[in-house]
Structure 1
Amino acid sequence: MKSTALTEIHKALGAKMVPFAGYNMPVQYEGVIAEHETVRNSVGVFDVSHMGEFLASGDKAIDLLQKVCSNDISKIEVGGAQYNCLPNEDGGIVDDLIVYRIREKEYLLVVNASNIEKDWEWINKHNTFDVQLRNISDNYSLLAIQGPKAIEAMQSLTETDLSAIKFYNFVVAPFAGIEHVIISATGYTGSGGFEIYCANEYTEQLWNKVFEAGESFRIKPIGLAARDTLRLEMGYCLYGNDINDTTSPIEAGLGWITKFTKDFTNSENLKKEKENGPQRKLIGFELDERGIPRHDYDIVDESGAKIGVVTSGTMSPSLGKGIGLGYVPVEFSKLGSKIFVQVRKNAIPATVVKLPFYKA
């Protein structure tokens, strides 16, 4: 079991630690609902140092990334970031990731912790362009400082105007007394904030300075359980639940990051799927009655016949009702459609709704 640079701090803070993607990670501190509300209303800090980081550099780095990524890499300016996925050859998804353009010919790829080895092998397999690839995952840490008060709470730690960093853009600048920190206006919560990348040896300093700066804003550490409820309220896909090797980006609602202005892995088949329309779609739904939908619960029609499966589900702390994502045949995917979720012996009625569930 791997540890992050902050594992001992999490334990000292009384975090409940669980194995996650091969790492010993904090799942919660004071409780999921309290932590969730901290991020929605103020500012909280996640240790997400288990995420993977690859560097791709060289004259043809862009050519390699255009080949393996679904989105159009040429649209990323230096200082910009782009949400992406790695399509496989069978219509599914190897992983979803964020691509940062660090310099003219250098890119940072941030991948899911559970897929580091798989992604590394996949990208190297397609590297016929002599691109220099470096896996720096074990050398860097990542803190997600999220919430509507994040800018105000963190501004004292840098001379960079945090309010000037646009969504999905970043700067490399001193932060918390540490040189060459990536300050990225990205996150997985839908409540604003930043993701901060730094070398492992400075992570404890970064954590301590962040909590000192945020003390008057009642900043709190947040675990992975609240990260999941926050991302689900936004309808963000989680790899392994909502997308995987067998789900296409088209049926997962990721057509917006699947650009057919270039050739990429399996692009011809995915283009046909987009033109013809997928047979099933990932939908968001709200339960009409009390209940909590969970991963792998059956979705059934009015007669009780199984039509799909819940991929992610929870009791939404912000909305006070059961919400979830799941795949259903296209005919059941229209907004307002009535479906039923099998919660133990009860088929609970639910309504297909527009994402995100939570609107600030």
Structure 2
Amino acid sequence: MLPFQPHRFSVAPMMDWSDRHCRSLHRTLSRHALLYSEMVTSGAVVHGDREKLLGFEADQNPVALQLGGSDPAELALAARIGEDFGYDEINLNVGCPSDRVQSGRFGACLMREPNLVAECMAAIRQAVSVPATVKCRIGVDDQEPEESLFALVDASAAAGVDSFVVHARKAWLKGLSPKENRDIPPLDYELVYRLKRERPNLTIVINGGVTDLDAVEAHLAHVDGVMLGRSAYHEAGLLGAVDRRVFGAAVADVSEFEAVERYKPYIARRLAEGVHLAAMTRHMLGLFHGLPGARAWRRILTVEGVPAGAGIEVVDRALAAVRQALEAREARFAEA
């Protein structure tokens, strides 16, 4: 058992991004961060290819499975399957604003049905022994967030749920795309802080608009945990300081170069299983963000990593290009 509380820092569930390859890369950078799966519908888990949807590496824990759905019995079965696969937490999505989830009666539209969410969570809790949590918005459309957020949390808490991840922004299901819903309307961090103050017995994790570890540390003065989304993906290198700065672990930060070396054995294993190189390296494109050689790194991985048969040598060439750029910068500084 880890001596840390994983919810203190987590990487958000992100469709088409936080797959098993991405999580394996992120685990090379942080030992203690809680990693989330992409959202998987309960129906897909029950009826689909479970190994493809749920499988992950033994060293990836702690990792949470996020489910989408609104049928309590089906969610309970999917949760039990997820626990059997080794997930450390089962999370219900009550925040995704896409048209697809609206038509399926799950995601953010469930903010309007707090009693149904509570029923779903009660079923999940009864089905598994790992924590059952909710990820929600503060409201949808014309709801008053002060009412909708507390109604949802209180209903689920009455069903035995004690941990909530709150995206501090309303979702507009009419007239805005999922992309626009990441930036409109404004964030309301203070409401989430208030939720923690008024429900101190609950674990409250804040999400939305967090871009760096300075912001993470600032939020932790008010809530129990912080969930990082797009920045953790596009600038993955920042995760290398999470264990020291957020969890207080007595460890050195993990450099981008060290992360690549740790990730390469995983790449090699999966290549031997027939996985395409680009499926794994696409998650690495932002690893050297802001550093000399970052453009060459991205170019080599995207151009040379796509053809069939591309192997680990592509990663080595990209890494050599970054090292060369860094050495050239150091030489210029030395001359100055």
Q: Do both share a fold (TM > 0.5)? A: no
Answer 1 or 2: which has greater strand percent. 1
Higher relative contact order (CA 8 A, sep 6+): 1
TM-score, with structure 1 as normaliser: 0.28
TM-score, with structure 2 as normaliser: 0.30
Answer 1 or 2: which has greater helix percent. 2
